[in-house]
Structure 1
Amino acid sequence: MENEKKVNNWLELAKRDLAFAKDIVNRRNFRSYAPHFSHQALEKILKALVVAKTGITPPYIHNLVRLANLSKIELDQDTKDILAMLNPHYIGTKYPEDIAKMFKLYSQQKVDEVFKSAERAFKCFQKLLK
């Protein structure tokens, strides 16, 4: 029962991050944060999968590919590509140089692409938790 609670907690946090990313995708002053929260949503749902599929506590890492490997789930090539594409979008948002870089990096088109890809992978991972 303890693992089920952990899985549900990770999943709830993941859903909130994805919802937040969706809310800010089209908000000009905030859209640059959407890729980071898209990454966070996938990181947390993958951590839910690590617990659900292996029973272990996920490590304190942000690498989506590594988390997917730790969960021992089978991924199609499209999902592997999404994880590899999203991996660099984890940024430490507490340092000014990272934030400045983030603002320059993300056009509306890029933000849309990252979010839609993350949403697609998220739905795939959600099915694996059922």
Structure 2
Amino acid sequence: MDYWMDMAAYDLDTARAMLDAGRYLYVGFLCHQTVEKMLKAYYWKSIHDEPPYTHNLLVLAEKSNLTPLLPGGMDGLLNRLMPLNIQARYPQDKDELLKILTSEVCGELLKRTGKLSEWINQLLKK
């Protein structure tokens, strides 16, 4: 569980650095990675087993029984982050993503990702 939490914190810090550097494609990707790793930490704590090998945030939230507990609007964040994991990796999607991922959009994604990460972190401490 600590591994997932440590890596999520590292990814969130790196997403902040990418926002400061204007590397918006990576902000979206790292926000996805942050949430994915926090969900895997929660899965580990709640299910007491290795999390599934998936990048699907909705599946991870569902399988860890976290979906009904999500604060308002956070399921929307999961949906918003989902394509950023895959699309950031493929060149044909890069130009479209760069049109969408502005400084303002990335700042908001980062803010919401930080809030969700902190909320899950509080659950992990219980």
TM-score of Structure 1 vs Structure 2, range by shorter chain? 0.7 to 0.9
CA distance in 2, matches of 1:108, 1:82: 17
Q: 1:31 aligns with which of 24, 30, 45?
A: 24
Residues 1:46 and 2:35 aligned together: no
CA distance in 2, matches of 1:51, 1:65: 16
Aligned residues: 123
How far 1:93 sits from its partner (Å)? 4.2
Report matched runs for 1:18-97 at 5 Å.
Answer: 18-28=12-22, 30-73=23-66, 74-91=69-86, 93-97=88-92
8 Å CA contact 2:25, 2:88 repeated in 1: no
8 Å CA contact 1:91, 1:98 repeated in 2: no
Deviations along 1:74-98, one digit per CA (max 9) or x if unpaired, are 2222222222222222125443213
Residues 1:10 and 2:4 aligned together: yes
Amino acid at match of 1:129: L
Gaps of 5+ in 1: 1-6
List 4+ stretches of structure 1 deviating above 6 A: none
CA distance in 1, matches of 2:80, 2:93: 18
Amino acid at match of 1:45: M
Amino acid at match of 2:94: I
Report matched runs for 1:102-113 at 5 Å.
Answer: 102-113=97-108
Distance 1:93 1:82, change over 3 A: closer
Percent identity, please: 29
Amino acid at match of 2:6: E
What TM-score, normalized to structure 2?
A: 0.87
What TM-score, normalized to structure 1?
A: 0.85
Partner of residue 118, structure 1: 113
CA distance in 1, matches of 2:78, 2:64: 14
